[in-house]
Amino acid sequence: MTFRVGDQVRVSYRSHDGHHRTPGYLKGMRGTVLRVHATFTDPETRAYGESGLPERRLYLVDFAAREVWYPNAVDGRIFADVFEHWLEEAS
């Protein structure tokens, strides 16, 4: 599904066998869509010599550092680029 700026999302908590661009420390974390960038070829297949098609939409997602690093007390925000197929709707 496609998301819009301001949407609440959650990064899929799943493992992936092979190259992917979703940082492990953000898996399962909830955030807010900050920017909808564009579509790009998929690094998960491109990394293995394939075309990377279909292109995947990339989002800049805003996370609260205190939630990401809980119980460590880290303040501020983490903005990270996450591909659409790694994002789920968060209620």
Partner 1 sequence: MSHDHDHITHADEPTVAGRVGALAELLVEKGVLDQETIRARIDWLVSRTPADGARLVARAWLDDAFRQRLLDDARSAALEVGIDPGPSPVVVALENTETAHHVVVCTLCSCYPRSLLGPPPDWYKSLAYRDRAVSDPRGVLAEFGLTLGDDVEVRVVDSTADVRYLVVPQRPPGTDGLDEEALAALVTRDSMIGVARPLAPA
Amino acid at 86: W
- Told to check if 38 binds partner 1 by CB under 8 A, we report yes
- Which of residues 76 and 91 has its CB atom nearest to partner 1 in the complex? 76
The H or E element containing residue 43 is helix 43-46
- Name the residue nearer to partner 1 (CB basis): 6 or 76: 76
Query: Where do we find the tokens 């995947």?
Result: 56
Give CA 69 to chain center in angstroms.
Answer: 17
Give contact residues for partner 1 (rule: CB under 8 A).
21-23, 25-26, 35, 37-38, 40, 43, 58, 60, 65, 68-69, 72, 74-83
